[in-house]
């Protein structure tokens, strides 16, 4: 990639932050434009090339959702360059159920972190995974957390998407884990940041790489930071927390987003009670006659009985 585009991308990040994007969202947009530059001339609008790119990607099986995100970022990029253009819009597909790790998955992840020899690195990594799990924070929110945001039994979270900031409770074991990490393992390379590396505040790219690495190592390659957020919301709902309270705790702007977790739980409930449903509604088998009644080739029934084993109504009663 040439230096001119690199400089423009840096300006684009600042531009998008100024227009309401979080830092992580603006950086993700820039990364997508950088990738698109391998296939398109992103410095000028060529709708023919864009349509061709979309067609080729669809033929290769890429999901429409992924393409919609690319086109949305490209739209924002052209706006930044000063072009007035409307890019193609793809019909939205139903969102698939998100991947949600199980409690056993999380136990395996903790065991893996605790088995590592580099205690400074892995006690921090363990605290990161556990805090994502017990607070439902987004990745971009976690990297912004400062030491002062930890209030002992709760954590103050700065919203990543322009929603209200929120305070969430912490289980006692999480409080103890954070205290041990801060007192014994935290790198003092940043005076404010809760999570640090040898060079400063732990950043977004390192966080995503960490979760992907841990997931791969324990046999959960689909693990990502947001899946731990899904786990948090789903477990709260299963525990009987009101859906609007779940909405506040996860920081959703719209209740519709949160109610998705009720659908997931209901689906799981359906699988759980399947055997009971078979048992409860077994009356059909109990009512069926023991012997099988055969219909004659001419359509008449033996012994004057109907095909279901009872006499036909008389003409006066039909």
What pLDDT does residue 272 have? 62
168 with 228, same domain: the answer is yes
Establish if 308 belongs to a structural domain. no
74 with 107, same domain: the answer is no
Tokens of 65: 């959702």
Instruction: Round to whole Å and give the CA distance between 228 and 78.
Output: 34
Tens-digit pLDDT string for the chain (318 aa): 578 899 999 999 999 999 988 888 899 899 999 999 999 999 988 888 998 998 898 888 888 888 888 999 999 999 999 998 888 777 766 666 788 899 999 999 999 999 999 998 999 999 999 999 999 998 999 999 999 999 999 999 998 766 788 999 999 999 999 999 999 999 999 999 999 999 999 998 999 999 999 999 999 999 999 999 899 988 888 888 888 888 888 887 777 777 777 766 666 666 666 776 677 666 666 665 555 544 444 544 444 434 333 344 444 433
Establish if 173 belongs to a structural domain. yes
Establish if 299 belongs to a structural domain. no
Establish if 284 belongs to a structural domain. no
Establish if 119 belongs to a structural domain. yes
What pLDDT does residue 304 have? 42
189 with 107, same domain: the answer is yes
Establish if 297 belongs to a structural domain. no
113 with 249, same domain: the answer is yes
125 with 67, same domain: the answer is no
Establish if 276 belongs to a structural domain. no
Q: For the whole prediction, is pTM greater than 0.85?
A: no
52 with 128, same domain: the answer is no
Residues serving a catalytic function are 138, 161, 226, 229, 252, 261
Cα-based distances in Å from 84 to 44, 52, 75, 81, 87: 11, 20, 9, 9, 10
52 with 117, same domain: the answer is no
Q: Are strands 166-169 and 200-201 parallel, antiparallel or unpaired?
A: unpaired
Please give the residue range of the domain that contains residue 182: 103-271
28-64: per-residue pLDDT in tens?
A: 899 999 999 999 999 988 888 998 998 898 888 888 8
Establish if 19 belongs to a structural domain. yes
167 with 248, same domain: the answer is yes
Tokens of 190: 């940043």
Give how many domains the chain has, as a whole number. Answer: 2
Instruction: Round to whole Å and give the CA distance between 242 and 231.
Output: 16
């Amino acid at each position: 990639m040439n230096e001119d585009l690199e400089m423009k991308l840096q300006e684009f990040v600042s531009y998008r932050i100024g227009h309401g994007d979080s830092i992580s969202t603006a950086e993700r947009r820039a990364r997508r434009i950088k990738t698109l530059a391998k296939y398109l001339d992103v410095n000028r609008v060529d709708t023919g090339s864009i349509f061709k790119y979309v067609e080729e990607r669809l033929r290769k099986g890429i999901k429409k959702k992924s393409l919609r995100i690319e086109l949305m970022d490209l739209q924002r990029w052209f706006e930044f360059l000063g072009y007035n253009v409307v890019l193609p819009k793809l019909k939205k597909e139903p969102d698939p159920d998100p991947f949600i790790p199980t409690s056993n998955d999380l136990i395996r992840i903790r065991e893996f972190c605790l088995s590592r020899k580099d205690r400074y690195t892995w006690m921090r990594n363990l605290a990161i995974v556990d805090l994502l799990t017990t607070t439902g924070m987004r990745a971009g929110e976690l990297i912004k957390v400062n030491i002062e945001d930890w209030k002992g039994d709760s954590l103050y979270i700065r919203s990543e998407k322009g929603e209200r900031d929120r305070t969430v409770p912490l289980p006692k074991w999480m409080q103890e884990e954070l205290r041990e990490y801060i007192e014994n393992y935290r790198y003092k390379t940043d005076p404010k940041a809760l999570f640090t590396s040898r060079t400063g505040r732990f950043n977004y790219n390192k966080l995503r790489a960490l979760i992907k690495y841990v997931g791969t190592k324990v046999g959960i390659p689909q693990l990502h930071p947001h899946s731990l957020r899904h786990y948090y919301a789903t477990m709260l709902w299963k525990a009987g927390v009101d859906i609007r309270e779940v909405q506040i705790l996860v920081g959703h702007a719209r209740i519709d987003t949160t109610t998705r977790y009720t659908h997931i739980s209901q689906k799981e409930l359906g699988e759980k009670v399947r055997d009971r449903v078979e048992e409860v509604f077994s009356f059909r088998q109990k009512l069926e006659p023991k012997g099988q009644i055969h219909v004659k080739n001419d359509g008449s029934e033996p012994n004057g009985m109907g095909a279901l084993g009872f006499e036909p109504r008389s003409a006066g009663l039909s």
